[in-house]
Chains A and B, each alone.
Chain A
Amino acid sequence: MDRYILRKEDVNRWVEALARTQEVLAPTRVEKEIFFAPTQTAVDLNLLSGTATLPYLPAKDLVLPHSENLFHFTRKGGDYELTVPEEKKTAVVLGIRSCDTSGIYWLDKFYQENFSDCYYWRRRNNLILVTMACNQPVKNCFCVCCEGGPFLDSERDEFDIQLVDLQDSYLVECKSSKGKALIEANPKLFAKADPSAVKTREALEEKSRNSFQPDPTSYMSTAIRRITSNAVTPETWTELGEKCFDCGGCAFVCPCCSCFGVGYLNEGEKGCHYRFWDSCDYSGFTREVSGHNPRGEKGERFKRRFFHKLSYQYLKRDGRIGCVGCGRCITACPGEVGMPTVVERLRK
């Protein structure tokens, strides 16, 4: 791994240079909400590295958008012509937080199991992720309980680039060849980091890890054990399920939720099939055409969601639990029954 120092006053010069050859997406306020939006220059440094909140949607949205067209068809006499929509060029995602990067790693693994999902991978392969380590967690954060942050592990994680805010400058940790290319194209902006910067980095990570509020999610392992051994009673699931509004919001904002549905449109001689985020909270998720629904009960659907997120069976399959601790489900849930609340309840 290479380590450099990038002075804050040089950030926009770097962005400008990168934007000449590819799209640069940085956290940007659009109508007050934060999105990863194309940036030519003048990155909002406070959104990039401050304790500002996460974008409402995880960066999953860049690789698995809310909906995307799979193919279009045109009827020509008795025949059909099928076309797959084009996808755009490479982009650098600047300022993605470690929880979202971890979420994308989870999706990477999932979307290459059995076969490569071409819609996912043609987006994913075009992205270079420049992760911003979090020096200060905010209210809903619990990544520290889920190995989702606050810093990516410089030894273990195969990231492109990780930035650490050292006040006047960033420590730039660079691992992959994709990441290195971003540095090598602009070598003048990057100075080699000296060992003291690494020391500071370690101190910052330690400090950040210690500044999470005491949180019920430290019982994550208990919840995992109880779900894995099927020790949670149906009554508990029903009780939790009753709090759920079936809105699907938690799944949509979850960096690790990957389920989708497919819609079909047909207008005259043309049409398309498109896929969209779906949620196992919906009763229609498993309802069969006959009306039979193997997961018709609220509690069973709730169990399903958390079995997928936290059971050892999935942990073994996916290499990590299906939660990165970003806390977005807390924001999105009208029933106040996000991950920490559930984990706390399952502990008992």
Chain B
Amino acid sequence: MFVRTQDGEARGVIPSTTHPVSQGRLCHRGWNRFQNLRSVNRLVKPLVREGEGMKETGWNEALKLSGEKIKDLIGRHGPESIGVIGSPWLSNEDNYLVSLLARQVIGTKNLDGSYRFGAAAALSALNQLFGEGIGAVGSIPALKESPAVLVVGRDAHRDFSPVGSRVVQAFQQGAQIILADASAAKADHFYKTLIPVPADRLPAALAAKRDIPLGILDLLGKPGAGLVFVADQLGPSASALALINYLIERRASAKDLPNLLALSRSPNLRGAWDLGIRPPAGGLNLEEMLAPESKVKGLLVFAEDLSVHLPKADLLEKLKKLDFVLWAGRFKNDTAQLAHVVLPLPLFAESEGTLTSCEGRIQLSRPALSPRGESRGLSEVLPELAQALGKSLPGGPAAAIRKEIGKAVPGYEKITGPEVESEAGALLAPPRLASAPPKSAALPVLESADKFLLLIPNTLYAWERNRMIAESPVLYIEYQAERPALKMNLQDAKDFKFRPGEKAKIRSERGELQVALQADEGVPRRTLVLSSHFLNLVESVAGKGEIDPVTRSVYFPSLLVTVEKA
């Protein structure tokens, strides 16, 4: 994709027609990308806290102050009192430096990304199956040739045009396309089969062969069969592992692996994960860093509006009470509001760096615009911060950092080669299945004749994307803000004689909740949907959720509930 500029401003975009993935097509966010590049809500100068407000300052002062605060915390409480948060909204080069900053400069094992609450489950499953360097586990172009594709969640289609378009092409070539989605009343034209179960219960439903003609399940074992899912919405790691294992076990020949596409609405999820933005052994993850009893006193947050990602109210309270929060990012947002030091970063379109796609394709993004205001890239900033801490970090041009990555990160040897600079980018090595892939027990399918199924879809993973949407006049009206309400099937709402806006009382084994209802034709019968970002509502009915033992983080499984008029 190209950004077109005039007078130093983004004025338009066009897709690349020769790129093997995009082939001249974009989604609506892509087509309107130039609008958020013009955003006026950008950070343009470093800021430091002064009483209740923030004061503009120079880079030297901001970095000096940050260095002093970090040194002070290390001196008083040790390096483990500092946590570092990288981001799928940073390039591989930047994430690599963030990771080095934590491990080598500060010497803390408390390193993570906000995908802890979402995609970490699916990525951990891939790690368990394919080892540390996950490799190129999927291919979007190859999806077109699939005999069958299992798509988990209907969003995976329209929201990811290149993938959706290959699904349509596969359908046109006779492939069987299966949709698994408990929140969809009906499936689009090219889905042969709809499996109405939530992702976390899907492996059990597949094993029980529910709602699925047998021939189709057999096709999922054929070479090239695809599994498409949104990485942040697959439920706990055990479910993700069981689902992928299901396909691996069905395959006819040992040498074929299924085409696995773990989609993300963040541009560099795979890259951030692969470059080590996760806690090493003995380190705290993000949830543990912000737990009420945690000993972390200072948090360095990079490019992620952390305060809107947190799945529990007490984590946010802890974040607000930390002795020191450094926030380096692009937009004026809630996290910038509560930080002690704010550093402005350039957007992808304003700097050079590589990103790793869901396929495992490393691609180089070149700047189309100059950095806004006084914003500076992390490859300049972090070595200076390291210096303020009396240490050093490699810096310089992005290509120099790629050389370091090529040497240090397993599977990323190609990041230094000429392929990365080519349009198609460089694919990571093909995945190699671990000799003894782990098994996992799947959650049972929930069924009850007299109860409703409450789905709590994870919506706490894409807020940087939401920011980009808010900054575009087209997308801002295209995506309506969600109301804090419970979605219910229109006919069910009629049967209950609910008037518009009237409150319902829902009760589960874990709690109860009174909430406004929103009738929705798109929701299936006897199903309720409550987005996970309405924290207070979710905690009332779902309690504290469950802890995924692999990611050591909270998730909210679907529940059976009763419904009555409030």
Chain A interface (Cβ < 8 Å from any Cβ of B): 31-33, 56-57, 61, 65-68, 239, 242-243, 245-249, 252, 261-267, 271, 276-278, 282-284, 287, 291, 331-336
Contact = CB atoms under 8 A, between A and B. Distances in A.
Contacts of A264: 473
B25 A333 contact: yes
Give the interface centre of B4, B13, B34, B479 by most chain A CB atoms within 10 Å.
B4
A336 B14 contact: no
A348 to B, nearest CB: 16
Interface string B469-485: 00001111111100000
A245 B474 contact: no
A334 B474 CA distance: 19
B17 A331 contact: yes
A66 B13 contact: yes
Contacts of B35: 67, 263, 276
A331 B24 contact: yes
Nearest to B169: A336
Nearest to A238: B189
Contacts of A247: 25-28, 30-31, 161
A335 B169 CA distance: 8
A278 B475 CA distance: 11
B478 A245 contact: no
Given A32-B16, A67-B35, 8 more contacts: A31-B16, A31-B423, A66-B34, A265-B40, A284-B476, A332-B24, A332-B25, A334-B27
Interface in B14-43: 14-18, 24-28, 30-32, 34-35, 38, 40
B478 A283 contact: yes
Contacts of A65: 11-12
A246 to B, nearest CB: 6
Contacts of A66: 4, 11-13, 34
Interface of B: 2, 4, 11-18, 24-28, 30-32, 34-35, 38, 40, 157-158, 161-162, 164-165, 168-169, 172, 188-189, 423, 473-480
A263 B15 CA distance: 22
Contacts of A284: 474-479
B25 A334 contact: yes
Contacts of B4: 66
B161 A245 contact: yes
B140 to A, nearest CB: 12
A241 B21 CA distance: 24
Contacts of B475: 284
B189 A56 contact: no
Counting from the closest, the 4 A-B pairs by CB-CB distance are A66-B12, A284-B477, A334-B165, A284-B478
A331 B12 CA distance: 18
A5 B13 CA distance: 39
Contacts of B32: 248, 276
B12 A67 contact: yes
A33 B17 contact: yes
Contacts of A276: 12, 32, 35, 473-474
Contacts of A61: 12
A262 B157 CA distance: 29
B372 to A, nearest CB: 11
B13 A249 contact: no
A267 B39 CA distance: 9
Contacts of B473: 261-264, 276
B168 A336 contact: yes
B161 to A, nearest CB: 4
Contacts of B162: 334
A261 B374 CA distance: 31
Q: Which of A68, A262, A276, A291 has the most CB of B within 10 A?
A: A276
A245 B24 contact: no
B174 to A, nearest CB: 14
11 contacts: A31-B2, A31-B16, A56-B15, A66-B4, A245-B28, A246-B158, A247-B26, A249-B31, A252-B31, A284-B475, A335-B164
Given A266-B40, A334-B168, A287 B477 contact: yes
Contacts of B17: 32-33, 56, 331
Given A266-B40, A284-B477, A246 B34 contact: no
A265 B474 contact: no
A68 B32 CA distance: 14
A276 B477 CA distance: 15
Nearest to A274: B38
Contacts of B40: 265-267, 271
B165 A335 contact: yes
Which of A56, A277, A278, A334 has most chain B Cβ within 10 Å? A334
A32 B2 CA distance: 11
Given A33-B2, A267-B40, A334-B164, A278 B474 contact: yes
B34 A67 contact: yes
A242 B172 CA distance: 15
Contacts of A282: 28, 474, 478
A283 B18 CA distance: 30
A56 B479 CA distance: 28
Contacts of A283: 478
Contacts of B169: 336
A282 B31 CA distance: 12
Nearest to B472: A263
Contacts of B158: 245-246
A261 B473 CA distance: 8
B537 to A, nearest CB: 21
Nearest to A333: B25
Given A265-B38, A282-B474, A284-B477, A249 B189 contact: no
Contact of B188 (A242, A262, A271): A242
A5 B168 CA distance: 49
A246 B38 CA distance: 23
B26 A249 contact: yes
A306 to B, nearest CB: 18
B478 A32 contact: no
A67 B477 contact: no
Contacts of B28: 245-248, 282
Contacts of B38: 263, 265
B535 to A, nearest CB: 24
In this complex, the member of A56, A57, A68, A262 whose beta carbon has the largest number of chain B beta carbons within 10 angstroms is A56
A82 to B, nearest CB: 18
- Please indicate which of the listed interface residues A242, A248, A264, A333 has the most CB atoms of chain B within 10 Å of its own CB: A248
Given A67-B34, A335-B165, A261 B474 contact: yes
